[in-house]
Amino acid sequence: MNLSRRRLLTGSFAGLSMLGMSALTGCSTSADPTSGKGAGDAKKLVLWIWPEGFDKQTLAAVSKAHSSYSVRQDIIGGDFKQKLTTTFTAGSGLPDITGVKGEDIAFFRDHAKYFVDLNTLGAKDLKPTFLDWKWDQASTTDGKQLGIPSDIGPTALFYRADIFEQAKLPADPDKLAAQITSWDAYIELGTKLRAAKDKTYLVRNSAGLFDTIWPQSGKGFIDEKKTFIGDQDHVRKAWDTTVKAFKAGIIAGIQSDTSDSTAAVNEGRLPADFGASWHLADLMVDAPETKGKWRVCAHPGPAINQGGSFLSIPAGASDPKASFEAIRELLSVESQVREYVHNGNFPVSPKAYDDPKVSGPVEFLGGQHAAKVFGKAAESVRPIYEDSHSDAVSAPFRAQLEQVESSHKNPETAWNDAVSEAKRIAKQLHLTVK
């Protein structure tokens, strides 16, 4: 049986073995919960979601709260954004509720007409339950709310406690976090690790470090006025810090999701990595023999967010009020806790963090209560404006850093080339370039 990375989280976060019963549960293409006598007469609300979706008990909670309707979950494989966009364009065949992935919400904010403004249905009453920065990702500049957050991906530092102990570096999460509050301190730690253990690195690659640092500023590459700002100080500072780390020799220069990367993690040559809560599943898949040796702590600077999705109501849905009430149940605090156990989705409501099912020990992390770290991280994430063209104009910076890393291109020349190419792309996209 093939176990997905996310499904592996089921056993780990719940304090179960890697092959616990939850992790072996298959994912059906739909879930149609019953709510007892008379359920067959209930109106079915169709929910579109990607593979794994919601637990059947979460879907059943809707029927229990509202006996007049139930939710049928339709699993949509392949390119979810493309499927949704094509259906919107066609104007027919839309579901009553749809998931929207976090990486796609900026695109759909530019097409707000596709969705019901949830503020017209009472979304503002729900807002206090959710983290503001995640809620705002689905808010348009003119005040419409296109989706309700379902989960988040706050980041932290995963590290091998055993290797840190061998190198005589802090291995306790609290002590390590206290020592690496700045990136300069992290670079210094990396040089000490290299001195103690040759060919052992704290950073996988330059692009990954760069993409961890610049979002900490609370600014991206495009602002709310559709102006390119990738040449400003907040991006330059992230660039300079990344180059400093490279020159210090703490970057391995290994591409992510490759056999070399997996080998480096298994062999202890890459005993640290930045990642969201779901990154635990990557480690479990790539290096199962390292179980119990990993820990997690805050990385330098505020946490950033990687991932996390939304539930929305397509414009033209047959009964928006019923769809909204279903979303209210699907994303309640109780449901968020259930989904954390079901598939590792980290809750977007702080009220869920103290629940024993969330706050319990994680076996792969040596019994550490990891949710405490990620919960604190979630509350430190800085709001950042995300534009649908951000990836396009930021890509040249990653490409140039890779050239610095692989062929030792002059960093200043690389910076100028990155800015020049990013501005060229920005002009093609009709963004304002100063």
pLDDT value, residue 342 = 87
pLDDT value, residue 26 = 28
- With residue 335 as reference, give the H or E element that holds it: helix 333-343
CB distance 315 to 115 below 8 Å: yes
- Give the mean model confidence (pLDDT) for residues 201-218: 97
Res 6 pLDDT > 60: no
Where in the sequence is the domain holding 332, given as residue range(s)?
Answer: 42-151+305-351
Res 24 pLDDT > 60: no
Res 25 pLDDT > 50: no
Question: Is residue 255 in some structural domain?
Answer: no
pLDDT value, residue 40 = 56
Alpha-carbon distance of 101 to 231, in angstroms, equals 28
281 burial level (CB within 10 Å; 0-12, 13-18, 19+) = buried
pLDDT value, residue 194 = 97
Percentage of residues of the chain with pLDDT beyond 70: 91
Alpha-carbon distance of 264 to 260, in angstroms, equals 6
pLDDT value, residue 1 = 24
The CATH number given to whatever domain includes residue 79 is 3.40.190.10
- With residue 319 as reference, give the H or E element that holds it: none
3-state secondary structure of 237: helix
- Give the mean model confidence (pLDDT) for residues 89-118: 96
CB distance 37 to 64 below 8 Å: no
Question: Is residue 324 in some structural domain?
Answer: yes
Could you give the residue ranges of the DSSP H alpha helices within 53-182?
Answer: 56-65, 80-90, 105-109, 123-126, 132-137, 161-166, 173-179
Q: Which residue has the higher pLDDT, 116 or 18?
A: 116
pLDDT tens digits, one per residue of 404-418 = 999 999 999 999 999
**CB neighbourhood size of 213 (10 A):** 24
Question: Is residue 136 in some structural domain?
Answer: yes
Res 22 pLDDT > 80: no
CB distance 272 to 155 below 8 Å: no
Alpha-carbon distance of 52 to 3, in angstroms, equals 11
Alpha-carbon distance of 57 to 30, in angstroms, equals 13
Question: Is residue 17 in some structural domain?
Answer: no
- Give the mean model confidence (pLDDT) for residues 99-124: 97
pLDDT value, residue 383 = 92
- Give the mean model confidence (pLDDT) for residues 96-122: 97
Beta-bridged to residue 155, according to DSSP, are 276
pLDDT value, residue 343 = 82
Number of domains, the chain: 1
Res 11 pLDDT > 60: no
What is the pLDDT confidence band of residue 305, given thresholds at 50, 70 and 90? very high
Question: Is residue 163 in some structural domain?
Answer: no
Q: What is the DSSP string of 2-50?
A: ---HHHHHHHHHTT--TT-TGGG----SEE----STTGGGSEEEEEEE-
Res 203 pLDDT > 90: yes
What is the pLDDT confidence band of residue 289, given thresholds at 50, 70 and 90? very high
The beta-strand segments (E) located in 217-339 are 272-276, 294-297, 310-312
pLDDT value, residue 205 = 97
pLDDT value, residue 94 = 94
Looking at mean pLDDT, say which of 4-8, 91-95, 225-229 comes out highest. Answer: 225-229
Average pLDDT across the chain, whole number:
91
Res 5 pLDDT > 90: no
Least confident of 24-33, 81-90, 119-128, 369-378: 24-33
Question: Is residue 345 in some structural domain?
Answer: yes
Res 27 pLDDT > 60: no
Res 46 pLDDT > 70: yes
Res 19 pLDDT > 50: no
pLDDT value, residue 14 = 44
Least confident of 30-34, 78-82, 187-191, 195-199: 30-34
Question: Is residue 134 in some structural domain?
Answer: yes
Alpha-carbon distance of 228 to 320, in angstroms, equals 37
Res 18 pLDDT > 90: no
Question: Is residue 279 in some structural domain?
Answer: no
- Give the mean model confidence (pLDDT) for residues 198-212: 97
pLDDT value, residue 41 = 64
